[in-house]
Amino acid sequence: MKHGFVKVAAATPDIRVADVAYNTEKIREDIVEACENGAKLLVFPELCVTGYTCGDLFTHDVLLEAARKALLGLAEFTADKDILVFVGVPLDIEGKLYNVAAALNRGKIIGLTTKTFLPNYGEFYEMRQFTPGPAEAEYISFEGDRVPFGPQILFQATAMENLIVSAEICEDVWSPVPPSIGAALEGATVIVNCSASDETIGKDTYRRELISGQSARLIAGYVYANAGEGESTTDLVFGGHNIIAENGTILREARRYHNEIIYSELDIRRITAERRKNTTFQREEERTLIRVPFYIESGKTELTRTFPKRPFVPSDDQARALRCEEILTIQAMGLKKRLAHTRSKTAVVGISGGLDSTLALLVTARAFDMLGRDKKDIIAVTMPCFGTTDRTYRNACEMSRKTGATLKEVRIADAVNIHFRDIGQDPENHDVTYENSQARERTQVLMDIANRTGGMVIGTGDMSELALGWATYNGDHMSMYGVNASVPKTLVRHLVQYAADETEDTELKRVLYDVLDTPVSPELLPPKDGDIAQRTEDLVGPYELHDFFLYYMLRFGYEPSKIFRLAETAFREEYDNVTILKWLETFCRRFFSQQFKRSCLPDGPKIGTVALSPRGDWRMPSDACAAVWLKDLGNVSLMED
């Protein structure tokens, strides 16, 4: 359970209707298998000890007595097992029959969760045999023990206090007000569901959306175990559609019509971090629900779930195209409003032939189309200097013309040399002053052209550069509206790729593809043999790593050691641990030391869940210290998991 991960499982055992001994043996086999695979939480389907489809056989004492004895035997079977098990069973309590999810741990029955909503429509007629559970849980005497009985019981792990599990049964989650809502509001971070939901056309899609939606609404993990093959097919077919979800994301899903166990790891720290950030998730101040401790050992959880290398970029081609279109629209809509509000006559864009300025130009052109304005009022300014290469210069000029912008060239080398003379800078000393003087001269040129033309300067810098502080303060750091300010570098590339794929202008397409093939560089140092001499990723590290670090640090507040572990899993084919650790340390140091640049950012549109605007998503003192984060990272050896 290191870093908050806990392995969970949903099992659909092979059963025979009303054959309690057979069913119990299959349940035992699945418990053994789940333990061998490291699961700490295992969920079985509704009434699986007997089978859900027993009908009026549920009224027979012989079946109920067999089920009760089987439950006691299963509880005893868990005595030496490091796991919490939920199993569905019919129980006669004081002359009434209840549909129950029994919680088993360390040889004991630690809770009996009752079904609240009994379906009595269509193919379901549970009220013929069963009684709805009580409105609130209470303690009852069961086989000589005092056991909580009723809905919304909370089971809390002693080794991991934020692992709080609550159960509901099938129809409960389909109801307008599921019991899991109240359980989550009192602290449940994982909801389990013992279910028997039959298959009809399209029901799998609805079921999937229901479970993922409930996990999102509750900001919780959700483990759903469904009845499968072995149930009676007199009128119905059950598909064993098991689902493990976390905060709206399906982590694992069983193949339908194949009885099996599915596994994944829930990230409890991620869930609690999300709840801390979400101020509309209001915990119940007065605790009314019964809490029961359960015991599992704390230790390392082997990870089987995957973590996307590019969390800002959808992996599916169609989804990525839709995302790109939406982002470009958001960026352009933000700029459209700002241009209209300020009555700007022009939009001034510094164009370098790199990815960021290309995206800014494309967004500006789209905003002008939305406004119905002539794109000749977009002034695309190229400012060659010491590091400019022929390749980027040609691309900057060509794309400016092809988008309909007015191209303006201002060579700044003479002005920068005069500035060097004025401040006593040796032009042969290629230090930070040499580089930043060019960036600030370019910004001055853009600002003054905007003043002369009654326009505004459109910022080109992206969120990844802002996170690392890879921007010249009051140079490319500054603009009048930063359209790329919340777009990470890995996403910038895909937005330009999307624009290239979509355009019907073959010449523009060719230029955009060449921009995509050009190394990322500020081009502030003289070229070597005509090629770019300064490659950003050689200096600050690969942007795909930094965007990965940025996502998990800001989105979920993960500690560096956990981010390292996820990066090791995601990038094991691309980078060794030494490289990952090196750049993660760089990220942490730069992120803290460069906050002063983010504290005075120009306005710009938010496009995703992670943003760095000091007015909105990220409010951090400019002199905050990184010591705690670096210490956490220092405690991780390269081979530690």
Residues annotated as catalytic are 46, 115, 170
Determine the Cα–Cα distance for residues 595 and 605; give it in Å rounded to an integer.
Answer: 19
Nearest Cα to Cα of residue 621 among 599, 589, 590, 588: 599
Under DSSP, is residue 609 helix (H, G, I), strand (E, B) or coil?
Answer: coil
The residues, any chain, with a CB within 8 Å of residue 47's CB and separated by 6 or more, are 54, 88, 89, 90, 99, 194, 196, 227
8 Å CB contact between 38 and 6? no
In the sheet that holds 96-105, the strands lie side by side as 138-142, 145-150, 108-114, 96-105, 84-93, 41-43, 5-11, 261-267
How far out from the chain centre does Cα 409 lie?
43
Burial string for 70-86 (b: 16+ CB within 10 Å, else e) reads bbeebbebbeebbbbbb
Strand 190-195, strand 164-169: pairing: parallel
Q: Say which amino acid occupies 614.
A: P
- Partners of 3 in the beta sheet? none
Nearest Cα to Cα of residue 441 among 460, 415, 422: 415
How many CA atoms lie within 13 Å of 332's alpha carbon, on the beta-carbon side?
20
Helix locations, 352-487, DSSP H: 355-371, 390-402, 413-423, 432-453, 463-468
